[in-house]
Amino acid sequence: MSHVYRLTIACPDRVGIVAAVAGYIAGLGATIVEANHHTDTVNGWFFMRHEILASSVPGGLKAFREGFVPIAEEFGMRWQLTDSARPKRIALFVSKEGHCMADLLHRWHEKDLPGEIALVISNHEVLRQQAEWYGVPFFHVPVTPENKPQAFARAFELVEEHDIDVVVLARYMQILPPEICAAYAGRVINIHHSFLPSFAGARPYHQAYERGVKLIGATCHYVTEVLDAGPIIEQDVIRVNHGHTIEDMRRLGRDVEKTVLARGLRYHLEDRVLIHGNKTVVFAN
């Protein structure tokens, strides 16, 4: 993978945005290696993501940022510039089911995940051996009805201590407190084992079975204070029929959960997701 800077922008739509950004980059003599644009014509918003060859930027990241500020202010941009040479650090939160954790650890071990899995936090000991096989520190933070505030405080102390960029709830069967959801907005990703907004909450495969659906799915989304209602990053489905039991649905669904979470996390790690309200623009490739 080339060393690139990733520029992402969201702002009210108006004439001249693309020309101003492209003109600035061209004026530096820099090279754009990937460009994505989207206009929300209903709400009048513009979204952009550029990958810029780092070696072509004179003065590097700091100089680019400083020179871009006047353009950002002129157009009222929400923007960020990140460096692909600094992979995002990931914390995996898990409970007892290890299929999503195992898939992400394997992808990371095979250098197929553009991030750094720094630690695993779990409310059970079940998955310790699996995590530690990959050389990833495993922290057991039990959660009970009586100790929830203290447990979540400890878990997110670990997140801060390890300089984590993104928390991934990889089938972590606990609901985060509202204050944590607010403090880490846009930095906590969950995999929910249904095709949201259908069957939110607990036991979605049971709900799907009782409803007699012909498709089941999984949803990767950002966590908010409203359960299973945050901005959606990625989704997929698989067909089921009247002969499938709840256990069959779980078996089939686990494969979908893994792939949806891996894709959604990759999009986040590569700065391909722009959050706008309770929706996302995802510049997938």
Q: Let me know if 53 is exposed, middle or buried by CB neighbors in 10 A (0-12, 13-18, 19+).
A: middle
Provide, for the chain, the percentages of residues in helix, strand and coil under a 3-state DSSP scheme, each rounded to the nearest 5.
35, 30, 35
Contacts of 117 (CB under 8 A, 6+ apart): 90, 92, 104, 105, 108, 134, 136
Determine the Cα–Cα distance for residues 172 and 156; give it in Å rounded to an integer. 14
What distances in angstroms separate CA 3 from CA 50, 56, 57, 104, 190, one per listed residue? 13, 10, 11, 23, 29
How many H helices and E strands in the chain? 8, 13
CA gyration radius for the chain?
Answer: 20
Q: Scanning the structure block, which residue is given the tokens 């941009």?
A: 77
For the annotated catalytic residues, the residue numbers are 228
Determine the Cα–Cα distance for residues 270 and 87; give it in Å rounded to an integer. 9
